[in-house]
A = this chain, B = another copy of it.
C-alpha cells in the first residue's frame, strides 16, 4: 500500500497544538493533526491514521513538520498536495508530498530536527513593537545583546543531560539529548532569532533554552554560565519558559535528506 510523507506548514496561533485531543463529552479541540487527518480522509475516501514527527504545543508554528499516512488509494503525486490543500483552512498547508517506504516512521526515523525562536526586543519605553508579524515573534521588553547570547549558545552544543531545560515531571526516562548546533543571529537592531538543531528534544526544551539565552542577553546571566546550568540538572537553574508564538519547527531530517524549508510556503 502506498505511504505518503507530507511536509506541513502551519501558523499555530489558532491550533491547540499538533496532537489530537478529544476531551470526554466535548467536541474535539482544533488541532493540526485533527484538521489534516480529516482533509486527507476526504481525499483518499477511507479512514487513515496520520502520524507526525513532532507534537508541537499550542500556539507553536511549523514550516517543516513531517506527517505520514498509508492508504489503499493510489494518488498521483503531483496532485495529492493540491487536493489536500484545497480541503485545508488557510492556516495550515502541505508544502510537499512524496512517497516513502511502507515502514517509514516519522518519529523513529527522524535523524535530527531544527527549531527557530524569533524575538523582537527593545525597552518598553521605546515606540517599536512588532505588529504585522506579531503572531510569529515574541516581544521581549528589554534590550538584548545577541553577541552574548551567541557566545552562550555554544555552551549547549553536545550530548548532555538536559534536565535543567525541560519541564519538571517531563515523564521521559532519559533526559540526555544531543544538540548539534545553536546560534543566535540579529537580523535588525530589534530582531533576533535563535536556531537550534538536535537529534531529539525534551518537552519545552527549546522554549527554556530561549529563556535562558534571553537572561544572558539582558545581562542577568553570564555566557559562560550555561555549561554549569546544564550540569546542575535542575530546572530552577535555567531561565523561564518562553511563550509559544516565537517558536517554529523548521525542518526534520531523515536518512540523508533534509526536509527542505521552503518547498512550498514562502
Contacts and interface: CB of A to CB of B under 8 A. Distances in A.
A110 B91 CA distance: 39
Interface in A175-223: 188, 190-191
Interface residues of A, number: 35
Interface in A60-95: 61, 79, 81-82, 85, 90-95
The 7 closest A-B pairs by CB, nearest first: A127-B264, A81-B127, A128-B264, A131-B265, A93-B131, A90-B134, A9-B131
Main secondary structure on A side of the interface with B: loop
Contact of A127 (B10, B90, B91, B263): B263
Given A90-B134, A134-B90, A188 B129 contact: no
Contacts of A129: 85, 93, 264-265
Contacts of A95: 127-128
A11 interface: yes
Contacts of A10: 131
Contacts of A188: 266
A136 B120 CA distance: 20
A116 interface: no
A257 interface: no
A263 B131 CA distance: 13
22 contacts: A11-B131, A11-B132, A61-B132, A81-B127, A82-B127, A85-B127, A90-B134, A91-B131, A93-B127, A93-B131, A94-B127, A95-B127, A95-B128, A96-B127, A127-B263, A128-B264, A129-B265, A130-B266, A132-B136, A132-B265, A190-B266, A191-B266
Nearest to A187: B266
A10 B132 CA distance: 8
A133 interface: yes
